[in-house]
Amino acid sequence: MPTLVIANKLYSSWSMRPWLLLRQLGIPFEEVLIPLAQPDTKERILALSPGGTVPILIDDGATVWESSAIMDYAHERWPDAGVWPADRVARAVARSICGEMHAGFRGLRSACPMNLGKIYQPRDRGPDVQRDVDRITTIWRDARKRFGAGGAFLFGAFSAADAMYAPVVTRLNSYSIPVDADIREYMDAVTGTAAFQEWKTAALKETWVVAHDEPDEPVLTDLRPNSSGKP
C-alpha cells in the first residue's frame, strides 16, 4: 500500500493537498505524520526524501515529493480514479490553475498562514492579499461556469484542482475574508467533503504549536480545545 508522509494537519497546507485528493477519490494509503518544528523534524524528512520537505508519497519503489508531482503520479498510477478531468480542455485548464496556485499567491500565503484552529477577526489585509483573493475567486468562478455543470466542484466532480485550492478555502474562512455567495457555495462544498471533515477533525485534536503559523492578532473563535495556541 502507498505511504503518504505529511506534517501537522493543523498547519501544513501542502500536506493537505494530496491527502485530500487521495482520500476523497478513495485511493488507499497509509499515513505517516512528522510534526513540524521538532528537533528531529528535518532529519526524519531527509531520511525519506532528498527534497527535505513534505508531503512525500512512497509507492512500489517510487518516492515522489512535492504536491503537484504527487498528483501527477496519482493520475498515472490510478488513471481511472478521476485525479484530473476527463475532458482534454478541462484538464488543461485544471493543470494551469493548479500551476498558478503552486507558484503564486504569495501575498495571501504569507499574510494568512493556514491555521485550522482559529477564526480571526476580520480586517483589511492589504492590497497584495486582496489582489490574490480577487484572482483566486475569478479562477473559481470561471472554472465553475465553464466546466462545473456536473457537480459542486470546479470541474464538476472533485479533482486535483479542488484539492490544490482547498487550503485557500481554509484561509478565507480562518481570516474572515468576505466573499460573494457563489464563492461561498463552492467553499462550503469543499469543506463539506468527507475527506476534509476527516482531516479537520484530526487537526483540531493536535496539540503541537508552530509559532510562525499563529499570527498575533485578535481571535474570534479558538477551535482547539487542547491548546492555548501559544508556544
Give the ranges where the chain is alpha helix by DSSP (H). 13-24, 41-46, 67-77, 88-103, 106-111, 127-147, 160-174, 181-191, 194-203
Question: Buried (b) or exposed (e) across 105-125, using 16+ Cβ within 10 A?
Answer: bebbbeebbbbbbbbbeeeeb
- Considering the domain architecture, whether residues 97 and 168 belong to the same structural domain is answered as yes
Report CA torsion sign: 147, 148, 154, 156: negative
Residue 231 exposure: Cα atoms within 13 Å on the Cβ side: 10
The DSSP result for 128-183, as a single string, is HHHHHHHHHHHHHHHHHHHHGGGSSBTBBB--HHHHHHHHHHHHHHHTT----HHH
User: Cβ(200)–Cβ(116) under 8 Å?
Assistant: yes
- Considering the domain architecture, whether residues 73 and 93 belong to the same structural domain is answered as no
Question: How many domains, in total, are found in the chain?
Answer: 2
Of 77, 100, 129, the position where a domain reaches its end is 77
Question: Buried (b) or exposed (e) across 126-160, using 16+ Cβ within 10 A?
Answer: eeebeebbeebbebbbebbeebbeeebbbbbbbbb
Q: How confident is the model at residue 177 (pLDDT cuts 50, 70, 90)?
A: very high
Partners of 155 in the β-ladder: 157
Q: Tens of pLDDT along 36-94?
A: 999 999 999 999 999 999 999 999 999 999 999 999 999 999 999 999 999 999 999 99
As a residue count, the chain comes to: 231
Nearest-angstrom CA–CA distance, 22 and 30? 11
Q: Tens of pLDDT along 112-142?
A: 999 999 999 999 999 999 999 999 999 999 9
Q: Tens of pLDDT along 12-33?
A: 999 999 999 999 999 999 999 9
What pLDDT does 14 receive? 97
Which grid cell is 133? 483573493
Where in the sequence is the domain holding 64, given as residue range(s)?
Answer: 3-77
Say whether pLDDT at 34 is over 90: yes
What pLDDT does 224 receive? 86
Average pLDDT over residues 102-120: 97
- Considering the domain architecture, whether residues 25 and 102 belong to the same structural domain is answered as no
- Considering the domain architecture, whether residues 37 and 59 belong to the same structural domain is answered as yes
- Considering the domain architecture, whether residues 64 and 134 belong to the same structural domain is answered as no
Average pLDDT over residues 173-187: 98
What pLDDT does 10 receive? 98
What pLDDT does 225 receive? 65
What pLDDT does 109 receive? 96
Which grid cell is 74? 496519482
List the CATH number of the domain containing 127. Answer: 1.20.1050.10
Q: Is 206 within the bounds of a domain? A: no
Strand 118-120 relative to strand 219-222: parallel, antiparallel, unpaired?
antiparallel
- Considering the domain architecture, whether residues 139 and 108 belong to the same structural domain is answered as yes
What pLDDT does 227 receive? 60
Q: Tens of pLDDT along 152-167?
A: 999 999 999 999 999 9
Average pLDDT, the chain: 96
Nearest-angstrom CA–CA distance, 62 and 70? 11
